[in-house]
Amino acid sequence: MERDTGAYSAQAVVKAIDLLEALASEELSATVPNLAKVLKLNRKKMLALLDTLEEKGLVERDEQLGTYQLGLHSYSMAQRILKNANLIRIVHPVMESLARKHDEMVCFTVLDRDEVLFLDVVGSVQQMKAGEMVGRRFPFFTNAAGKVIKSLSSLDLLGRLPGRRKKSLPELPDPVKLQQELDEIRKKGIAIDVGGFGDGVCTVAVAIRDYAGKVVGALTMLVPSIRLVSERLENEIIPSMLEGAEQLSGQFGYTRSYA
Residue 259: pLDDT band (50, 70, 90) is: very low
Strands laid side by side in the 115-122 sheet? 137-139, 115-122, 105-112, 215-224, 201-209, 191-194
Q: What pLDDT is attached to residue 205?
A: 94
pLDDT in tens, 109-143: 988 778 888 888 888 655 555 556 777 788 888 88
The pLDDT score that the predictor gives to residue 27 is: 60
Write the CA distances from 247 to 18, 210, 216, integer angstroms.
Answer: 42, 11, 14
Residue 9 CA to residue 227 CA, distance in Å, equals: 46
pLDDT band for position 149 (cuts 50, 70, 90) = very high
Is 208 in contact with 245 (CB distance < 8 Å)?
A: yes
The helix/strand/coil state of 167 is: coil
103 DSSP assignment: T
Residue spans per domain, the chain = 5-70, 82-251
Q: Quote the pLDDT of residue 191.
A: 92
**What is the per-residue pLDDT across 221-238, written as a single tens digit (0 to 9) for each?**
988 877 777 888 888 989
| pLDDT value at residue 2 | 45
| Beta strands in 156-214, from DSSP E residues, in sequence order | 191-194, 201-209
Q: Write the pLDDT tens digit of every residue in 19-67.
A: 888 887 756 678 888 888 888 888 888 888 888 888 888 888 888 888 8
- Cα–Cα distance, 183 to 177 (Å, whole number): 10
Name the band, by pLDDT with cuts 50, 70 and 90, for residue 154: low
Q: What is the pLDDT of residues 63-117, one digit of tens each?
A: 888 888 888 777 666 656 656 677 788 889 999 999 999 888 999 998 877 888 8
Q: How far apart are CA 167 and CA 196, in angstroms?
A: 18
- Write the pLDDT tens digit of every residue in 162-199: 444 444 556 777 788 888 889 989 988 899 988 777 77
Domain 5-70 has CATH 3.30.1300.10: no
Residue ranges of alpha helices (H) inside 112-210 are: 144-151, 175-188
pLDDT at 206 over 90: yes
What is the domain class of 82-251 according to CATH?
alpha beta
